[in-house]
Chains A and B, each alone.
Chain A
Amino acid sequence: MITEPTSKYLSNTVQSIQPSGIRRFFDLASSMENVISLGVGEPDFVTPWNVIEASYHSLEQGYTAYTANAGLFELRKEISRYMKRRFGVSYSAEEEIVVTVGASQAIDIALRAVINPGEEVIVVEPSFVSYAPTVTLAGGVPVPVNTYSEDDFKLQPEQIEAAITDKTKVLMLCSPNNPTGTVLSKGDLERIAEVVEKHDLLVISDEIYAELTYDEPYTSFPAVKNMRDRTILISGFSKAFAMTGWRLGFACGPKPILQAMLKIHQYTMMCAPTMAQHAALEALVNGQKDVVKMKESYRQRRSLVIHALEEMGLSCHVPGGAFYVFPSIEKTGLSSEEFAEQLLMKEQVAVVPGSVFGESGEGHVRCSYATSVQKLEEAMRRIDRFLQTL
């Protein structure tokens, strides 16, 4: 991949990880014109205006300096209130919350704070593309556990037990899931919690899509009995508040772990961007109405897309959250890469091959419905036409 002579300077760790399959597909898709993209993992809304204004005010008032390492105290207090109000979990703003540069950085420092070289982290696949590489970068060993469409891509507790070795330390959960949209119910989480407790695991629960669930009330993993003190909760503003470009997220968890994460954060990042923190504060205080509006619109589009896929005979479980559907393309006989590539070439519709999310993503493609109704309808017509040609 990278040729001599400079590659000799690279660390073995970084050489051992592959570039993201999403990146490869991005390069291909962006070389083409008039693409309808169902390949985006982010909202199609612009950040609500009051939130944008809050960042202007922040700058106007001269907040152009660092904040506390853990983040603006007002923001942490508001995150604490928000977690209590929305999910019924209490965290101390002083010691148990760190504001980060996106949920992405929160995941990174969470792993680095807890992993010793060679320790194993169970990653539920299909999974968000960054989990396994971040585990590797932290010196850990990612252990994939596959989930399947027959189970609606729900992790079965026995699967965790089967994957456990004496090196296993962490279970990474993501509900609602990217790319499958699967939401674990309270009952699912309680069954997982039993295994977690029995084997004394730590859980990193990525709940960045928690606000975007459509069918049942959401249960946050730390709200499950006995789980608060063995969970690092990861969340952020990217998805619910349409703030992907602001790079703002947070982690909550028991004090010793969060203080360890804070050490890494303080030496590597100092703090999250100040004007983005003021914007996020506004989002938490006054943003819930916008979240509800955007969510309503995602729910409608989910319904549109699922109908369309059903009509064209691509089977698809009904995803309970996030803004992805993950239909099976197995009956076409194509691999997910071939399917995505041919669809892009023939009909200029970009979807993401399921294989980039792990082995068990093969046979599926990820379609994001965070796109206008008109574009979705056109994309569905094109996919249908593409299927006819196979």
Chain B
Amino acid sequence: MNSTERELLKLIEKNGRLETGTIAKLMGITEDETKQILDKLEKEKVILGYSAIIDWTKGTEEGAVTAMIDVKVTPKRGVGFDKVAERIYRFPEVKAVYLMSGVYDLSVSIEGKTMAEVGRFVSEKLSTIDSVISTTTHFILKKYKHDGLVFSDNDEDKRIVVSP
């Protein structure tokens, strides 16, 4: 990956809504070049999607409950953890699945409307998968920072309006 591509990725990682015109001006390249680079990176699956980071606790109740679930599994011969992980990540309520080192194997993050909904997912869908040995569910009480963004209000400009 070249430095122009990297610069562009850093820009849209911070703000996925930047218009191509703005990106082009910020980087001092043409809008056509910007589009070409974006196309290429999307095709190569370097850019997987564009999403917003939302503080759901502020508005609707949707996705207001997030849990991180530590999952221990027995790896199946030949397919290791990958098949189990796939069975888990196919569920739409699952937001993330990671293979971990340490005392458990998979870390699964899920979002639901209520604790009961998350509880149902764990007891009915996750723990019934036959290679799952055990699960430990941690509910997130409050989000302070997520994907590099701080969930708080006080980022207003503290500078005086005109200074030397």
Contacts and interface: CB of A to CB of B under 8 A. Distances in A.
Contact of B160 (A26, A304, A308, A373): A26
B157 interface: yes
B96 to A, nearest CB: 26
Interface string B128-164: 0000000000000000000000000000010111111
B161 A373 contact: no
B54 to A, nearest CB: 18
A293 to B, nearest CB: 9
A169 interface: no
Interface in A84-114: none
A129 B163 CA distance: 10
Interface residues of B, number: 16
Given A20-B164, A308-B25, A373 B159 contact: no
B18 interface: yes
Contacts of B157: 37, 44, 371
A300 B27 contact: yes
Given A300-B11, A373-B15, A37 B26 contact: no
A128 interface: yes
B74 interface: no
Contact of A42 (B18, B22, B26, B163): B163
A352 interface: yes
B112 to A, nearest CB: 33
B164 A128 contact: yes
Contacts of B15: 373
B161 A350 contact: yes
Contacts of A377: 22
B25 A35 contact: no
A303 B163 contact: no
A304 B11 CA distance: 13
A40 B161 contact: yes
A314 to B, nearest CB: 15
Contact of A304 (B26, B161, B163, B164): B26
Contacts of B25: 303-304, 307-308
B33 to A, nearest CB: 13
B78 interface: no
B26 A40 contact: no
Q: Which of B7, B11, B27, B163 has the most CB of A within 10 A?
A: B163
A350 B164 contact: no
B159 A304 contact: no
B146 to A, nearest CB: 17
Contacts of A352: 162
A276 B159 CA distance: 19
A39 B15 CA distance: 25
A75 to B, nearest CB: 25
A296 B6 CA distance: 12
Contact of A29 (B7, B28, B162, B164): B162
B99 to A, nearest CB: 30
Given A300-B11, A373-B15, A373-B18, A26 B162 contact: yes
B4 to A, nearest CB: 12
Contacts of A308: 25
B162 A39 contact: yes
Q: Which of B7, B27, B164 has the most CB of A within 10 A?
A: B164
A40 B163 CA distance: 5
Given A373-B15, A373-B18, A301 B26 contact: yes
Contacts of B164: 20, 22, 41, 128-130, 178
A-B residue pairs, 9 tightest by C-beta? A39-B162, A26-B162, A300-B26, A303-B28, A29-B161, A307-B25, A37-B161, A304-B25, A41-B164
Given A22-B164, A30-B161, A40-B159, 12 more contacts: A26-B161, A30-B160, A35-B161, A37-B162, A41-B164, A42-B163, A300-B7, A300-B27, A304-B22, A304-B26, A350-B162, A373-B15
